[in-house]
Amino acid sequence: MSRKQVLRSDPGQVPVPGQAPADDTGCPILHVDMDAFYAGVELLDRPELRGTPVIVGAAGARGVVLSATYEARRFGVHSAMPMTRARRLCPQAVVIPPSHGKYAEVSKGVMEIFRAITPEVEPIASDEAFLDVRGAVRRLGSPARIAALIRAEVAERHGITCSVGVASTKFVAKLASRHCKPDGLLVVPADRVVEFLHPLPVAALWGVGERTEQALVRLGIKTVGDLAHVPASTLQREFGAVGAHLAELAWGRDERRVTPHAPDKSIGAEETFPYDVDDPDAIRRELLRLSERVAARLRAGGHIGRTVSVKLRRADFTTITRARTLREATDVAKEIYATACELYHAAGLDRVRLRLVGVRVENLRPAGTATHQLGLGERETGWREAEMAMDRAARRFGPEAVRPASLVRPRFDGMDL
Residue ranges of the binding site for Mg(2+): 33, 127
* Calpha distance 5→129 (Å, rounded): 22
Provide, for the chain, the percentages of residues in helix, strand and coil under a 3-state DSSP scheme, each rounded to the nearest 5: 45, 20, 35
Q: How far is CA 31 from CA 69, 122, 149, 209, in A?
A: 21, 9, 14, 21
Q: How far apart are the first and last CA of the chain?
A: 55
Element holding 148 (H helix, E strand) = helix 143-158
Q: Are the C-beta atoms of residues 53 and 71 closer than 8 Å to each other? A: yes
Q: Are the C-beta atoms of residues 98 and 56 closer than 8 Å to each other? A: yes
**Neighbouring C-beta atoms of residue 80, cutoff 10 Å:** 8
DSSP-based three-state secondary structure for 13: coil
Q: Which of 42, 122, 128, 271 is catalytic?
A: 128
Helical residues (DSSP H) of 34-122, grouped into ranges: 37-45, 70-73, 83-89, 100-117
| Residue 324, beta-bridge partner list | 308
Of 413, 360, 306, the residue nearest 83 (C-alpha): 413
Q: Are the C-beta atoms of residues 277 and 354 closer than 8 Å to each other? A: yes
Nearest 10 degrees: Cα torsion 111, 113, 119, 121: -40
Q: Which residues contact 253 (CB under 8 A, 6 or more apart)?
A: 169
Asked if 128 is an active-site residue, the reply is: yes
* Calpha distance 53→75 (Å, rounded): 9
- Catalytic positions, written as ranges: 128
